[in-house]
Amino acid sequence: MLKNFSILLLLISLTIFAKSRPEIAKEEKEDSIKELFKKNEITYPSEIFLRALKLEKKLELFVKKEGKFQLLKTYPICASSGDLGPKRKQGDLQVPEGFYHIHHFNPVSNFYLSLGVSYPNESDKTLKTGRDAGGAIYIHGDCVTIGCLPLTDEPIKELYTIASESVKKQKKIEVHIFPCDFNSEKCQKELKNYPQHEEFWKNIKEGFDYFDKNGKLPKVTINKNGKYIIKPNLSK
């Protein structure tokens, strides 16, 4: 009886004092993160912005410096599902496209760590083609996906740590997801294969172009028809 009680106490102690995944990630990655920011002469932490390009399989990390965002690092997206074009219903395997933000930090994800993307937004809900627009879209570890953005474990440790610190500097972390880099010839050629999305892509390209030109995030609202309304960001 005493032996069993001792084992139970040991297990409880191990559970209490075990480090969480975010703690482990921070311990492993914080020094290299600080060095990356220092090398680019950016204070850590600072405001960040994430932009995903589906065709190129890239997740771009931008950091604000002197009032404008600059590209700090690009993470390869290691797996993808669906085609170019927005997500319109539950189970279509599509990665969403549009304007979102991080709305959930999951420290016990099935894919090590994950950052929840705020899909579906009001545009997605209005334009859905099924009864349910779907949900549970994450940027996460591992290398499997049914509509998410997987980076594998080591990159998500770094990005999760950066994002966890950046929320001390900003109300929300915006995430914009596009079919591809609208500035590239490869992108323009590929988009011609999906004429059904032409009007939608023209709409979200306004936000893409505004950011590329100004280094600032546009003000994005959604009208009753699900269209994005892109306006200048006049804040410093």
What residues are annotated to the active site?
140, 148
161, 168 contact by CB (below 8 A):
no
Residues for the chain: how many in total?
236
**What tokens does 191 get?**
């988009």
How far is Cα 17 from Cα 56, in angstroms, rounded to an integer?
42
Count the Cβ atoms, other than its own, within 10 Å of residue 196.
7
212, 195 contact by CB (below 8 A):
no
How far is Cα 166 from Cα 46, in angstroms, rounded to an integer?
6
